[in-house]
Structure 1
Amino acid sequence: MSEQQPPKIEFPCPDYPIKVIGVNSDDFRAYVIETVQVHAPDFDITTVTVQDSREGTFQSVRFCITATGVDQLERLHQDLKSSGRVKIVI
């Protein structure tokens, strides 16, 4: 039996969804937006939605970018995670 491979992403990929989860703070949303703009200068901040966890400890920031390649996505993920503020990038 052959293993089914996930579909390959074709780049550029408009409306590529990303969700960033981190510890809730007053500037978490702004931090995420600022970091994303470094890697996706054409990023449309109107696509950003923010949701606090049930108890308010965490915050998720969701948005879409035009993904230009695997390198861009890996660098964005590394920058977000290296801050220590981000727990998960999906």
Structure 2
Amino acid sequence: MSQPEAPKIVFPCANYPVKVVGDQGESFKNDVFSVLAGLGIEHSTTRIREMPSKNDRFVALTIPITAESEQQLSDLNVALRKLPSVKMVI
């Protein structure tokens, strides 16, 4: 049996959720926001969701952005993964 094809993203895609997991602390958040700004990706700080880990060592940020292209999402993924405080990008 063949696998069903994954749904395609239609660009621009408003409210595309970018989830980043990293070390708890302001430097992690500031680094993530600097990457977004460096790539010219606007986001609303009031719509960001923060979820601390059970032991409060890590935090997951869910940041809704307007995704403009696959290349933009790829560039964002690469830039975020280069940050030492980032553990995972979803």
Higher mean displacement: 34-43 or 78-87:
34-43
Structure 1: runs of 5+ lacking an equivalent: none
Moved over 4 A (4+): none
Question: Deviations along 1:31-59, whole A, 9 cap, x unmatched?
Answer: 21221122243322222121210101111
The residue aligned with 1:37 is 37
3-state secondary structure, aligned to 1:77: helix
User: Is the 8 Å Cα contact of residues 23 and 86 (structure 2) preserved in structure 1?
Assistant: yes
Structure 1 length as normaliser, TM-score?
A: 0.89
Structure 2 length as normaliser, TM-score?
A: 0.89
Measure the CA separation in 1 of the matches of 2:71 and 2:27: 27
One-letter amino acid of the counterpart of residue 48, structure 1:
I
Q: What CA RMSD, in Å, does the superposition of the two structures yield over aligned residues?
A: 1.4
One-letter amino acid of the counterpart of residue 83, structure 2:
S
Structure 2: runs of 5+ lacking an equivalent: none
Matches within 5 A, 1:1-90: 1-90=1-90
